[in-house]
Amino acid sequence: MEADNDIQTTPRGFHCKLCDVNIPNKPSLGDHVKGKKHQHLSRLRAKRKSQEDSSVFVSGFTPETSRTQLHDYFEQFGPVAEVIMDKEKGVYAIVEFSEASGTHSALAQLEHRLQGLKLRVKPREKKEFKLTSGARHNPKKPHVSLGKLNHELCQAATVNEQMQKVVETFQLSEGDRKARELLVQLLQEVFGEFLPDCQITPFGSSVNTFGVHACDLDLVLDLENTKAFQSRARTSEQAGEERSEDGRSEDSILSDIDLATATAAELLDLVAAILRKCVPGVHKVQCVSTARLPLVKFNYRPLTLQGDITINNRLAVRNTRFLQLCSALDSRVRPLVYTVRLWAKQKQLAGNPFGGGPLLNNYALTLLVVFYLQSVEPPVLPTVEQLKAMACEEEVCIIDGWDCTFPSQPFGVPPSANADDLCTLLFGFFRFYSKFDFPASVVNLREARALPIGDFRSGDEEMHNAPEGGASKHRPGHAGPKLGPVNVLDPFELQHNVAGNLSERTHRSLRHELGEAEKYCRSLQFQRKSAKGKSWGLVRLLAPRGEPGTAGRDASYRPPEICIPFRTSEAHGRPSQDDEACRAVWFSRLCSAVELVFRDVLKCTAVEGTAWQEPCKTQDVGTVEEAVEEPSAEGSSSLCKAHAGVKRPLTADEGPSSSSSPQGKRQRLEPLAGHPESAHWSWVQTQQVWAGRRKVRRDLVKTSDEASQPEGGSSSLESRVTQRIAEKQADPRDLVEFSVDATVVAGSESTKAVLKFIPTNDVSGHFQDFFHFLESFLPKMVETKMAKLQ
């Protein structure tokens, strides 16, 4: 039975392969199998299988062959339910019969000929049905651990190599790209059914060559051809014909709306209705009519992806083409853009987590990089006006009155004479903008010039007299761009300031961070690899704002920590606290418990390759320099940190724990001489598991037979509390990524495990709340788990 094949027995219970979840015991397994998710996926799989069984894969026809011709040809084998043509129309088609018998008959025929062409008809490829639940579980979309990345960056030989590594780590994988393409295809098919001749086109980071794992899928629904179709259909109707010239009639949805006169809100409602009712896997559909460009947001469950659909937004498709061209013109563009984007994200300057907001958007940031590359001497990229001059007649492109002309291929553009390496360009970027007078200038990529803001503040009359490439390029009758502390003119829509949303506060942070970055890039730490394995180059530059490793950080920074005291009762009946082996056993059990709490109770996702393993034991003890100066940065991706490079054992005052005694003095603590165990994990928390936790626990206890338990007293109850919170909250998002370094320290008064927490990615600013919750929750929960492990 299929259901049985889905369930695997594991050392900790069961695993459902279909839903990709772990189930602790038999009763929960029963509940799971009867549950909504499992049932839904089983039904979906059955449907897919039946679709596959009743479809054939057809190729060998020409692009001129129509869907109707294929439909009519295959009807001889049985009723045809659907013909799905590939995007380029002409390479292949899937013909789905209403019954599997149609497939058998079609496959039984030795030769297929349609209009003199020999068709190839094959069984449809059987794909294993798998739940691709996106960022958290999809192996093609690994979480990017900055801890792990830092480790790899430290190993690189040069900053240039580090920048290439950033691209490799973050860029969209082939699988990710393919999955997005298939989703676009699916949407095209569905929307095409209701809105004939419409076109769905992706734009933005999914296709502009700067995409990162799990970035949004931005789409344009172009209805211009549908409008024409509708007007033709209506004309035929008035002439008393039932069908339009091309044989199609107006679909029921389309007949409800007049595309020529419909308002933006009506169009959005139409798009939202199609998404909700007709696209499997789509949920959380929401119209946002207040945005500059109204859009429909949706989530696509199978890929855990967020999508946006705007209507007739051809300018965005065109400016995406422009960014693609910039990337193709010079191989240094991508590493520079990825590095600057990551830097800005880490410093909380860009990437408004939920769209909108006071930060720079990634498009504006990318244009800043392009502008800088146009401005360096000699330029790396040509200006937009120069590109326009290089375009041929067929490439002239005017959209909504804006000139969007540039060559469609990079080979028509002469290569740059600039030979700077990536490291030099990155330093140059920070130097250029740290001196840039943002409030007084308007960045204009058309001529690589910073225009004086005064030109844009004057009235219309002056605007028309403004210099070439400046305000004179505004369309008459339209207001100028919305000015703010940072002004970056869209290269095509010249009345739009792409950084117009930026707050004064973000502008101040931007200037501060640019200055800090410029200073840091001057230092040897940036330019030269550390011989001692210290963090260098990009590692410090990319450290989260205000966190360890940050360029110019406060040297007294100590990562927050939670201490868990040693208890002999938890050490498997070993005799005394002095017994090192006993403490090692205790620490090993503690690490298992910590991992269970994060993974099973708090549903954190382990960043690939950082799960804890049996602690390694070395006889080496950390050097003073490593332990005190760099408590967390180096080796942070290793599963188990062995303290190499012994000079002398740490003395009590130099120990890895920095926690202060009540009198403000450090306790006398030492790592265990013979067992300097340590462990390291990197986790991602995707839900606010701390928010309203007490109330959820109370409610759960009320509605179950379970006896009331204090916080952390029962792991099954706490797991269910987390589950319940997750169900109530929005879709999982990477809220906070953090690493935990555990070490055991011994002193005259107490032995304890010290868990150091380092937020490696906290753009949404949740780390503090999460840590605050962990301070009380973790020690109790670990104690409960350890008791169970005995």
Binding site for ligand UTP (CB under 6 A): 203-205, 208, 210, 215-216, 218, 315-316, 319-320, 351, 361-363, 490, 498
- Separation between Cα atoms, residue 161 and residue 328, nearest integer Å: 20
CB of 315 to ligand UTP, least distance (A): 6
Tell me whether residue 89 or residue 482 sits nearer to ligand UTP (CB atom).
482
Least CB distance from residue 445 to ligand UTP, whole Å? 13
Query: CB-wise, 103 or 366, nearer to ligand UTP?
Result: 366
Q: Are 543 and 553 in contact (CB under 8 A)?
A: yes
- Residue 722 CA to residue 712 CA, distance in Å, equals 12
Phi/psi of residue 516, nearest 5 degrees: -65, -45
Nearest to 643 by CA among 668, 608, 680: 680
Compute the least distance from the CB of residue 777 to ligand UTP, in Å.
Answer: 33
Quote the least distance from Cβ 231 to ligand UTP, whole Å. Answer: 28
- Please state the closest distance from residue 190 (CB atom) to ligand UTP, in A: 23
- State the minimum distance, in angstroms, from the CB of residue 317 to ligand UTP: 7
Nearer to ligand UTP, 315 or 781 (CB): 315
3-state secondary structure of 250: coil
- Between 282 and 498, name the residue whose CB sits nearer to ligand UTP: 498
Nearer to ligand UTP, 176 or 490 (CB): 490
**34, 109 Cβ separation under 8 angstroms:** no
Between β-strands 751-761 and 736-747, what pairing exists: parallel, antiparallel or unpaired? antiparallel
* Residue showing the smallest CB distance to ligand UTP in the complex: 204
Q: What does the alpha-carbon distance between residue 736 and residue 609 come to, in Å, rounded to a whole number? A: 18
User: What's at 59, amino acid-wise?
Assistant: S
The CB-of-369 to ligand UTP minimum distance in angstroms stands at: 12
Element of type H or E holding 454: helix 454-457
- Spell out the residues 6+ positions from residue 762 whose beta carbon is closer than 8 angstroms to its own: 544, 547, 736, 737, 738
Tokens, residue 134: 């996106």
Rounded Cα gap, residues 566 and 579, in angstroms: 12
Are the beta carbons of 297 and 307 closer than 8 angstroms? yes
Q: For residue 34, give every residue at least 6 positions away whose Cβ sits within 8 Å of its Cβ, in sequence order, or none.
A: none
Q: How far is the CB of 204 from ligand UTP (least distance, A)?
A: 3
Nearer to ligand UTP, 344 or 725 (CB): 344
Q: Closer CB to ligand UTP, residue 498 or residue 786? A: 498
- Per DSSP, the residues of 620-686 read ----HHHHHH-SSSTTTTSSS----S-SSPPPGGGSS--PBPTTSPBP-EEE-SS---EEEEEEEE-
Q: Quick one: 423 or 763, whose CB is closer to ligand UTP?
A: 763
Q: Select 351 or 671, whichever has its Cβ closest to ligand UTP.
A: 351
**What minimum distance in Å lies between the beta carbon of 322 and ligand UTP?**
9
Least separation in angstroms between residue 216's CB and ligand UTP is: 5
Rounded least distance, CB 186 to ligand UTP, Å: 20
Q: How remote is the C-alpha of 687 from its chain's centroid?
A: 15
Which H or E run includes 174?
Answer: helix 174-194
Q: How far is CA 628 from CA 556, 633, 650, 651, in A?
A: 10, 11, 10, 11
Question: Which residue in this structure is represented by tokens 């970055």?
Answer: 517
The CB density around residue 696, as the number of other CB atoms within 10 Å, is 19
- Burial grade of 136 (CB within 10 A; 0-12, 13-18, 19 or more): middle
Query: CB-wise, 490 or 741, nearer to ligand UTP?
Result: 490
Least spacing, CB of residue 180 vs ligand UTP, in Å:
12
**Nearer to ligand UTP by C-beta: 84 or 293?**
293
Smallest separation, CB 650 to ligand UTP (Å): 44
> Is 316 or 753 the residue whose CB approaches ligand UTP more closely?
316
- For every residue of 682-705, which 3-state class applies, written as one string? EEEECCCCCCCHHHHHHHHHHCCC
Tell me whether residue 150 or residue 327 sits nearer to ligand UTP (CB atom). 327
Q: How far apart are CA 28 and CA 720, in angstroms?
A: 11
Nearer to ligand UTP, 189 or 216 (CB): 216
Shortest CB 314 distance to ligand UTP, Å: 10
Q: What are phi and psi of 788, to 5 degrees?
A: -70, -35
- CB of 631 vs ligand UTP, minimal distance in Å: 33
- Tokens 């049996």 belong to 614
DSSP string over 720-745: HHHHHHHHHS-S----EEEEEEEEEE
Alpha-carbon distance of 149 to 152, in angstroms, equals 5
Q: What is the rounded distance in angstroms from the CA atom of residue 699 to the CA atom of residue 351?
A: 37
Sign, Cα dihedral of 283, 288, 291, 293:
positive
Residue closer to ligand UTP (CB basis): 113 or 478 = 478
Decide whether 498 or 669 has the Cβ nearer to ligand UTP: 498
Instruction: Please report how close the Cβ of residue 360 comes to ligand UTP at its closest, in angstroms.
Output: 8
